Amino acid sequence: MSTRVFREATRRWTEIAAAHDGPLAALRAPALDDFRQQGFPDTQREEWRYTNLTSLLERNHEFVRTAVHLEGTDQAGVTALDLASDPELSQLSGLGDLVDRKEHPLAALNGALLGAGVSLSVARGAQLGEAINITLPPLARGTAHAARVLARIGENASAKLHIGEAPGDESCWRNDVVEIFLERGAQLELVFHKSGGAASTSLLAIRQERDSHLSSHAVTLEGRLTRQDLTVTLSGEGASCRLRGLFGTTEGGVCDHHSLVDHAVPHCTSDQLYKGVVASDGRGVFRGRVVVRPDAQKTEALQSNPNLLLDSR
C-alpha cells in the first residue's frame, strides 16, 4: 500500500472529522488518533491477508451524513435517539464500550467520521411483537457513509432487530459499527442483510449477560467487496449464541466474514454455521475463532463452514 496514498486519505479524513461539530465531536478526535496509530488495514496483516482494501483508499469518497431510517420504534418499551442530532449524549451510556479501536482500525475510522446512527433501548421485560428495522441510507455515486447503531436489550426483554441497506453502486463505501448489550435473560434475534453493490466493511460487537440468548443471521448476497467482523462476548453464566451466516459472491467479488466468540465464564454455549456460494474467480472467506477463558468450565462451542464453488471450467 502506497504511503503517499494513505497520507493523502488520512489528510482528507482529518479535515472531514474537524469540519463537523455537534454532540459527536468529542468522540471523533480520540478515534482519529487511534486510527492514525493503527493505519489502514492491508494484506500484510494476518487478519486481512485475504482482503485487499487499497481501492477504498484510492477513491476520493465524499462522506455523507444522511440519517438512517427506522421502523418499529413506536412500540411500547422502545426508546430511540438520533446520534447525530440529539444533544443528550449522557443518555448514550455504552457508546464505544464494546469496540476495541486498537484491534479494529476501521472501527476507529468509523468513530472519527461518525455522522449518523441511532441508539435503541428496549425496556426491562418488554416483549416486542414487531421487529425494529434499521435501513442504512441510499448512497449516490462516489460517496461513503459511517453509521453507528447502539442497542441495549433490557433484562428479560425480547426483541427482533433487522439491519439492512438501501442501494449504492460499486463506487460507494459503507463503514458501519453495531454495538449491542444483552442484559440478564434478554432474547434477541438479529438479522444483518447486505444486498447492495456498495463496498461494505462492518463490525458487530455484542456482549451477553447471564441466561441471555442471541440468534444472529448475517446474509450477504451481492457486492464486489464485503468484510464483516462479528465479536460476541459471553460474560454471564448460561448465556448462549446461535450464529448463522449465508454469503454469495459475484464473479471476481470478495466476501470475508470473521467471527470471534469469547467464552469468558463457565456454562455458556455457542453454535456457528456459515455457508458460502462462491462464483468463478470470486473469493469467500470465513475465519471463526473461539476463545475459552481458563475458568470457563463446561463450555460448549460448535462451528461449521460448508461451501459451494460455482465454476464451469
Asked if residues 179 and 154 have their Cβ atoms less than 8 Å apart, the reply is: no
pLDDT value of residue 168: 81
Average pLDDT estimate for 77-98: 74
pLDDT band at 90 (very low <50, low <70, confident <90, very high): very low
Return the minimum-mean-pLDDT range out of 5-19, 30-44, 113-127. 5-19
Residue 208 pLDDT greater than 60, yes or no: yes
Return the minimum-mean-pLDDT range out of 59-63, 68-72, 256-260. 59-63
pLDDT band at 15 (very low <50, low <70, confident <90, very high): confident
pLDDT band at 102 (very low <50, low <70, confident <90, very high): confident
Average pLDDT estimate for 241-266: 94
Average pLDDT estimate for 180-208: 95
pLDDT value of residue 170: 87
Q: Give the contacts of 11 (CB within 8 A, at least 6 positions apart).
A: none
Average pLDDT estimate for 86-100: 69
Residue 248 pLDDT greater than 50, yes or no: yes
Give me Rg for the CA atoms of the chain: 19
Average pLDDT estimate for 203-207: 98
Average pLDDT estimate for 3-26: 76
Residue 147 pLDDT greater than 60, yes or no: yes
pLDDT band at 1 (very low <50, low <70, confident <90, very high): low
Per-residue burial over 220-239, b if 16 or more Cβ lie within 10 Å, else e, is bbbbbbbbbbbbbbbbbebb
Return the minimum-mean-pLDDT range out of 42-46, 96-100, 232-236. 96-100
Q: What is the mean pLDDT of the chain?
A: 90
- Tell me the C-alpha distance between 39 and 106, whole Å: 9
Q: Is the pTM of this model over 0.75?
A: yes
Most confident of 26-35, 88-97, 268-277: 268-277
